[in-house]
A and B are shown apart, each in its own frame.
Chain A
Amino acid sequence: MNEVTMSGSSVETAAARSMTRGSVLVTIRRNIGWGISALALCSALAILLAIFWFVLSRGLPALKPTLFTTVTSGISGGLENAILGTLMLVVFAVIIVSIIGFGTGIWLSSYASEKPRALVRLLTDVLAGVPSVVVGYFGYILLVKIAGWQFSLAGGAIALTIIMLPYVVRGTDLALEAVPRELREGGFALGATYTTVLMTVSWPYALPSVLTMLLLATGIALGETAPLIYTAGWSNYLPTAHLTHSPVPYLTYVIWTFISQPFAESHALAYAAAALLMLMIVVTNVFARSWLENLARKQRGEH
C-alpha cells in the first residue's frame, strides 16, 4: 500500500522519482488497485449470471401461462396460489417492518442518547444472526400454538418482519447519519426545530438509501423458507384474506419441497417457481431502482 504523507515536498519528490523510472511500471502500479476492483466486480457479476442461468435454463421450459391460473396440485400443477401467497406475505411484512424499522432507525440516529443507542444497535445486529429456522420455530410456539393462530398470514408476515428488521433499522440509521451536517445546520440556521429539520431535510435526503436497504431486505424476505414453513404452513389452495387460522402458500415452499420429489414434473415446477421468484425480484429491483435513482437526483441535487 502506498504511504502518502500529506506534506507537499515528499510527494513531489516521489512523483519526480517515479516519473523518471519508466511510465509503464508507474501506470501499472497506479492502476493495479483499479484493475483488481474491476476484476472483482466482473467475477461477482459472473457468479450472479451463472446462478441465473442455472435457474432459468431449468425453469423456463416449465414456465407456461397456465402456471398463473392453476393451483399447485398433486405432483405439479400451477403456481397461482403460491404467487398470490408470496405477494400477500411480503406486502404485509413490508408494511409492518417499515413502521417499526423506520421508527427505530430514526430514534437511533436522531433521538437516542449514547448508551441506549449502543444497546439497541447491538441488539439489532444480534437479531441479524438469529437463524431463520429459529425465528420460524419461535413463531410456531408463540403464534401458532400459544396464541392459537394456527398457520396464518399474520404469523408468516410477523416472521418475515423479524427477518427483515435488522436491515431496515440499520439502513435507516446509517442513511440518516450520512446526511451532510451542512444541510442540517442550514435548516437550524433558518430557525427550524429539530423535528422539522428531521422531517423536511434529513429524511428526504436519506430516503433513497433507506429504500435501498428496504429493497435489499425485501429480497431476503422473498427468498426465505424456514420461517414460513412453521408460521404460514402451506396450502394447495388460493390464500384467503383471513389474517389467522388460514395457511398461506408461498413460492419458496414449492422450491424446497418439490425438488425432493422423485418426479420430473415436480422438479420442473420447483425450478419454475425459482425462476419466477427471481424474475419477481428482478422486476421489483429494476422498477424500484430507476425510481430510486430519480428520487435521489431530485432530493440530493446531483447524484
Chain B
Amino acid sequence: MALVTATIVFLIAMFLIVYSWPAIAFNGFGILTHLEWNLGNQYANGVVHRGGFTGAPGASFGAVVFIAGTIISSAFAMAIATPLAILVAIAMHYQVPRRLKTPVNTLVELMAGVPSVVYGLWGIGVLVPWISSSVGPFLAAHISWLSIIGGGSASGNGLLATSFILAVMVFPIMAATMRDVLSTFPKIVFEGAIGLGATPWQAVTTMVLPAIRTQMFAAAMLALGRALGETMAVLMVCGSALNQLPQNIFAPINTIAAVIVSQLDSALTDPTGMAERSLAELALILFVITLSVNLIARLIMRGGDRVKRTA
C-alpha cells in the first residue's frame, strides 16, 4: 500500500518533469531570475526558438514574483498559525470543561472543512474591505515611518490578506492534530511535573510540549504543504501581481498555485504550447520548493535533537 502512495507521488513528479521538459529547455535558468512573465504574442504569426523548442514571439517566462509570493505568504501564515495552534490546542485540552469538549473540538475541526472558495469569498467580502478601509489607514496614520507596514493600502488585496487567510486555513489542521496528540499523551508526565513543583503552565510548556515535538512537527509540515499549495482562496485575495515584487505588506502578490489557475486558460490558447509547459514548470518548481523546505525543516529538527541529547 505504501508503494501505491509512493508511486502516486512519483507519477506526479514524473508527469511534471516530462510535461515541462520543453519549457525547462526553453527557459533555462532565466525562469528563476527574471521578474517578467510574458506569454508572448499568441496572435502573431511566427515563433521564437530557444533551447531547441519554440514559443510565441516575445515569450519570456520569469517566476521570481511567484516564488517570492509563495514563500513569503506561506512563511507569514505559518508564523501566525503555528503559535496560535499550539495555544489553542493547549486550551482545548486543558482548559475547556469536559462537557464542552465535544462541541469545541467539532467547531475547530469544522474550520478545516470550510471550502477554500468560501474562505476566498469571505476574504473578498469581509477581510479585504476591512484591510483597505481600516487596517491600512490606521497603520498609515500611526506608524507611517515604517514604510513596510505604514505604507498605506490601495485595495486590500495583497500580502496581508493572503497571509491572514492562509493562516486561518492551515490553523485548524495543526490545532486539531495537536489537540488529538495531547489527548493521547500519558497524563503521568503532566502530573509528575506538577508533583515536582511546576505550575500547570510550566508543566505543559516544559514537559509535555517538548515530548510531542515530533508530532507537532508532522502536523506543521502538513499545514505548510497546504499553505504552499492553496489555490482558490489565495487567487481571490492576493491581488495577482505580475512583474513586480511587493513593496509593503499591502502590496499585491502572486503565488505559484494562484498563477497556475489564473494563467492556465490563456496558456491553452498558445499555439506553440510553450505557455502550458511553463506552467507545468512552475508546478515543478513548487514541488522542488516543498521538497527542500521539508528537508531543511527535518534537518533542523534532527539538529535540535542532537543538541538536546548532549546537553
Q: What residues of chain A have their CB less than 8 Å away from a CB belonging to chain B? A: 1-2, 4, 6, 8, 11-12, 15, 30-31, 33-34, 36-38, 40-41, 43-45, 47-48, 50-51, 54-55, 99-104, 106-108, 112, 116, 119-120, 122-135, 137-138, 141-142, 162, 165-167, 169-171, 173-175, 177-178, 180, 209, 212-213, 215-216, 218-220, 222-226, 252, 255-256, 259, 274, 277-278, 281-282, 285-286, 289-290, 293, 296, 300, 303
**Which residues on A sit within 8 Å (CB–CB) of B286?**
129-131, 134
B300 at the interface (CB under 8 A from A): no
Interchain CB contact (< 8 A) of B2 among A104, A282, A296, A303: A104
Considering the complex, which residues of chain B in the window 44-84 have a beta carbon less than 8 Å from any beta carbon of chain A?
84
Comparing B31-39, B132-140, B151-159, B229-237, the segment that makes contact with chain A is B229-237
Among candidates B84, B184, B201, B225, residue contacting A30 with C-beta atoms closer than 8 Å:
B201
Please judge, given known A-B contacts A134-B283, A285-B113, whether A255 and B121 are in contact too, CB under 8 Å.
yes
Q: Which residues of A contact B114 (CB under 8 A)?
A: 48, 51, 219, 223, 278, 281
In the complex, A277→B287 CA distance in Å? 30
Q: Which of B121, B197, B202 sits near A259, CB closer than 8 Å?
A: B121
A sample of 8 cross-chain residue pairs with beta-carbon separation below 8 angstroms, ordered by A number, consists of A1-B205, A34-B91, A108-B2, A123-B5, A126-B225, A133-B231, A134-B16, A219-B112
Which one, A37, A54, A252, contacts B125 given CB within 8 A?
A: A54
Chain A CB within 10 A, most for which of B88, B108, B176, B295: B88
B116 touches A126 (CB 8 A): no
List residues of chain B with CB under 8 Å of any chain A CB: 1-2, 4-6, 8-12, 15-16, 19, 84, 87-88, 90-92, 94-96, 101-102, 104-119, 121-122, 125-126, 168, 171-173, 175-177, 180-181, 183-186, 196-202, 204-206, 215, 218, 221-222, 224-226, 228-232, 256-257, 260-261, 264, 283, 286-287, 289-291, 294-295, 298
A-side contacts of B102, CB under 8 Å? 289-290, 293
Q: A274-B118, A281-B113 are in contact. List 12 more A-B contacts (CB 8 A).
A: A34-B94, A45-B107, A119-B6, A128-B290, A130-B229, A166-B225, A209-B180, A225-B232, A274-B115, A278-B114, A282-B110, A289-B109
Q: Taking the nearest CB of chain A, how far is it from the CB of B241, in angstroms?
A: 18
CA distance A195 to B94 in the complex (A): 35
Contact A37 to B88, CB < 8 A, known contacts A128-B225, A166-B225: yes
CA distance A175 to B176 in the complex (A): 13
- Cβ–Cβ contact B106 & A216, under 8 A: no
Given B11, B181, B283, which contacts A178 in the complex, CB threshold below 8 Å? Answer: B181
Q: Which chain B residues lie closer than 8 Å to A107 at the CB level? A: 1-2
Q: What's the minimum C-beta distance from A125 to chain B, rounded to whole angstroms? A: 5
A34-B168 Cα distance, complex, nearest whole Å: 21
Which residues on the B side are within 8 Å of A2 (C-beta)?
A: 199, 202, 206
Asked if residues A129 and B287 are in contact (CB atoms below 8 Å), the reply is yes
B113 and A12 contacting across the interface, CB-CB below 8 Å:
no
Partner of A142, one of B15, B116, B283: B15
Q: How far is the CB of B292 from chain A (nearest CB, A)?
A: 10
Q: Which residue of A lies closest to B184 (CB)?
A: A178
Closest to B221 in A: A125
Q: In the complex, A250→B104 CA distance in Å? A: 29
A138 to B16, CA, bound (A): 8
Given A41-B92, A44-B175, A219 contacting B225 (CB threshold 8 A): no
Interface pair A131/B109, CB less than 8 Å apart: no
